[in-house]
Structure 1
């Protein structure tokens, strides 16, 4: 997946070429306008006529996948040799697992993510240490069973960017599947090169998609409480003498989030039965070990 990835796409493709497992590489070019297209030689390319985001790009590519497994990989990620083998081995060793999570490293070698945990209020948060259990995976580098991904409804393309991975993890678990960490599957990740963490768009996508994910997947009471909590804080903020400077406390942005969530609410699909949603929430929300 790439968008304006001219500065780093070649390093990503070189790292994929160094993998020792047979694989097919499909680059989804999200209407790049920086010359990225001219660098994509010798690989299959799906060029989109507009930028549909990371989630939309994966959704567009999925119908073309004919292999047992499908990997998602950011264009700013460089998997180490043996990365793909480690992910495939993790799934081969765990028949009930539908996804294997990579270890993502910062440029200075620190662990950025070994997987994703679910917080007590329904956020997806990166785990920055080795663990035997993960709720979900970071979508920057992950391997999934193609058949299972299709069976749970694929990728939420309308999310555009952010939380498409945690939403997918939710639906996998609601369908009875497991997600496993693969400690030997390591990849350097520049993180946020295209999306600029902290920007207005970043906060819009994060806040909106978290609420949509909960409405899709979490217990009804939990989802409605989080929506009500977000709305209440939004309407109280103008009455405060001071408030945090972070853009996610911008009243205008929060009102837009609420508007987009409410517009999409009638089309928001619910997965699994209420008992199963409560079971997954009770097992994973706030779980840190």
Structure 2
């Protein structure tokens, strides 16, 4: 009797670089290349730069200008020469502390045929703290509680390639912020689900996204775009109203609020791209999963 050993899961992994993290980037890449029990193809995309510190065997793609994170990741996925079953998107300052992480995420994906994406738990390497924005559900008080989720923290996530392509990939024109909400909702509308695999850990420094000058503008603009692209028309006004009401208590100062409102107005003027509203059945599924598409 012949024992058939299952083939290792095949991954295509994409990292972006602007050559501005000469210490973090090699650590991130080394931890990725150290993964065991998987077939792995890695693509590094230089967003407006020629990628530096890329070892032999890793494909480097140079973009003449910075096209933003979601479009850079789309470019990386298209550049894959193999046909992997899974895609792994990873920030270039994240580290995979266990060499079996990708294999574990593949098993989590295979545990339920409906799953299109699996997100590990992200924690700061020094403090062990998992920031609220890294927990892909409303009740984020216990970051170690696993389960079905309706959005993702897109900085470290595994996605089934066939589902990713059917959803149209990341919304490239978002440049930065909320692209994970857009992709998650599209995957759910295709009949899939997402899973938060909190038992599998990734390290990522707990930085403040508002350090970026464009943060408040793009967060507001893309919040509008997410709604316009994905929600049935009756849900668009209440979704946007919720964020208009919540934002004054969340932003830091009058200047930041003014920038946020400017981004909100920019989003309302258009530019969101193709409108593909989710089915009402998807709205119900999202609500049953604990996060109706209103917050």
TM-score, normalised to structure 1, is 0.81
Please say if 1:117 is aligned against 2:143.
no
Bigger shift: 275-284 or 133-142?
Answer: 275-284
Alignment of 1:27-38 (within 5 A): 27-32=44-49, 37-38=51-52
1:23 partner SS: strand
* Structure with the larger helix share: 1
Q: Tell me the equivalent position of 2:239.
A: 226
Unaligned segments of structure 1, at least 5 residues: 120-124, 238-242
2:191 partner SS: coil
8 Å Cα contact 1:117/1:126 also seen in 2? no
CA 1:232–1:94 in structure 2 vs 1: closer, same or farther (change >3 Å)?
closer
CA 1:277–1:219 in structure 2 vs 1: closer, same or farther (change >3 Å)?
farther
Deviation at 1:253, TM superposition (A): 4.3
Unaligned segments of structure 2, at least 5 residues: 1-15
Deviation at 1:161, TM superposition (A): 0.8
2:238 partner SS: helix
Deviation at 1:62, TM superposition (A): 2.1
Please say if 1:276 is aligned against 2:289.
no
Q: Tell me the equivalent position of 1:25.
A: 42
Deviation at 1:281, TM superposition (A): 4.7
In 2, distance between residues paired with 1:134 and 1:156?
20
Aligned residues between the structures: 267
8 Å Cα contact 1:102/1:137 also seen in 2? no
TM-score, normalised to structure 2, is 0.80
1:37 partner SS: coil
1:38 partner SS: coil
CA 1:111–1:228 in structure 2 vs 1: closer, same or farther (change >3 Å)?
closer
In 1, distance between residues paired with 2:21 and 2:112?
34
Q: Tell me the equivalent position of 1:200.
A: 213
Decide which of 220, 244, 249 is 2:257's aligned counterpart: 249
In 1, distance between residues paired with 2:274 and 2:75?
20
Runs of 4 or more above 4 Å deviation = 228-234
2:270 partner SS: helix
Decide which of 171, 189, 195 is 2:186's aligned counterpart: 171
**RMSD of aligned residue pairs (Cα, Å):** 2.9
In 2, distance between residues paired with 1:232 and 1:130?
29
Deviation at 1:191, TM superposition (A): 4.5
8 Å Cα contact 1:84/1:185 also seen in 2? no
2:137 partner SS: strand
Alignment of 1:98-177 (within 5 A): 98-107=116-125, 108-112=127-131, 115-117=135-137, 128-177=143-192
Decide which of 14, 20, 23 is 1:7's aligned counterpart: 23
8 Å Cα contact 1:100/1:144 also seen in 2? yes
In 1, distance between residues paired with 2:260 and 2:102?
40
